Amino acid sequence: MAPPLPARSTRVDRATLLEHAGDDPWVRWALADPLPGEAFVHEGVAVVQRTGHRPGLWVAPLRPDHPVDLVPSGEALSEEAGRVASALRSVVATGVLQVWSARSASVPAEHAALGRALLPLTDQGGDWEWMWTTTAPDVDPREQRLHVLDDLADAHELRAFAHQHNPRVWTRIGEGAVARWLGVRDDDGSLLAVGGAEREDSGVPHLAGILTARHARGRGWGHVVSAALTRWAVEQHGVATLGMFSDNDVARRLYRRLGYRTARRWCSRHLSDG
């Protein structure tokens, strides 16, 4: 059992946060140790500073006694909403947004209405899910066609492919952020599918930029690339994580077949300057 959650705002480090969070995979594998910024827990809701190229904050209800891949419902969800609202009011009242120079915020998708009501969220951003697995998928024979690509040397080709076949890809191509790229080529040498693995702040691999050429979809190449990257991550680090847009049901089915489960559903939005 996790220790009792703080009743009021209490500054915490990652070890204390993990202690309160129980076996929460997002806290365990997404957050750096030590935290690069600040964090506090307010009435059982963690507010964690996000540093780097998208400074902001995460607002994460801690659910130590709740299944990690299920969102609370009914009275439990209503009670949690009250605590999330209290945490958001504390963020605004104490000037956290200004102190942290926050330009974005991620709140639970199930409490998105509260985020919009209490934070100066804009429409710019997306709804997405954070998923994880510790199980290596079986080898697909078609993985023999995969090639290792280089984030820097192949950046122009990767950017052009992403722009042509899925402009929503948020992966930072050509900046050295992707530790491993895999791709499969057609007989003429053009790319059919690609996928990369970035690093979570914790250091574990985070699949990103998985996409297939429009004319090659439905052939299973996304599965091939994702399976190979997942196996590499699990064999090297014991876990693989990823983020996917919540409206992509095809991707969700693919990742669930590979053993992924959803730990967090996020509503991530930029903050207004006013």
CATH number for 189: 3.40.630.30
Per-residue confidence (pLDDT) for residue 167, from 0 to 100: 76
Of 224, 231, 207, 238, give the one whose Cα is nearest residue 147.
Answer: 224
> Which pair of structure tokens corresponds to residue 204?
């574990």
Q: Within a domain: residue 4?
A: no
For 83-126, what is each residue's pLDDT tens digit? 999 999 999 999 999 999 999 999 999 999 999 999 999 999 99
Are 195 and 98 found together in one domain?
Answer: no
Q: Within a domain: residue 81?
A: yes
In whole angstroms, how far apart are CA 99 and each of 34, 38, 56, 118? 20, 11, 10, 17
Count the Cβ atoms, other than its own, within 10 Å of residue 4.
9
Are 36 and 105 found together in one domain?
Answer: yes
Are 97 and 157 found together in one domain?
Answer: no
Are 207 and 252 found together in one domain?
Answer: yes
Are 163 and 194 found together in one domain?
Answer: yes
Cβ–Cβ < 8 Å for 64, 20: yes
Which residues fall within 8 angstroms of residue 234, CB to CB, at 6 or more apart? 133, 134, 135, 136, 240
Are 122 and 183 found together in one domain?
Answer: no
For 121-174, what is each residue's pLDDT tens digit? 999 999 999 999 999 999 999 999 999 999 999 999 999 999 999 877 778 899
pTM across the whole model: 0.91
Which residues fall within 8 angstroms of residue 161, CB to CB, at 6 or more apart? 191, 194, 211, 213
Q: Within a domain: residue 135?
A: no
Count how many domains the chain has: 2
Per-residue pLDDT band for 31 (boundaries 50, 70, 90) equals very high
Q: Within a domain: residue 1?
A: no
Are 62 and 163 found together in one domain?
Answer: no
Are 55 and 24 found together in one domain?
Answer: yes
Per-residue confidence (pLDDT) for residue 83, from 0 to 100: 96
Are 107 and 197 found together in one domain?
Answer: no
Q: Within a domain: residue 58?
A: yes
Per-residue confidence (pLDDT) for residue 82, from 0 to 100: 97
Instruction: Tell me the residue range of the domain where 221 lies.
Output: 141-258
Are 70 and 15 found together in one domain?
Answer: yes
Q: Within a domain: residue 3?
A: no
Which residues fall within 8 angstroms of residue 228, CB to CB, at 6 or more apart? 140, 143, 146, 182, 195
Q: Within a domain: residue 79?
A: yes
Q: Within a domain: residue 165?
A: yes
Q: What is the three-class DSSP state of 247?
A: coil
pLDDT at 1 over 60: no
Determine the length of the chain. Answer: 274
pLDDT at 201 over 80: yes
Are 70 and 157 found together in one domain?
Answer: no
For 33-73, what is each residue's pLDDT tens digit? 999 999 999 999 999 999 988 899 999 999 887 777 778 89
Are 190 and 248 found together in one domain?
Answer: yes
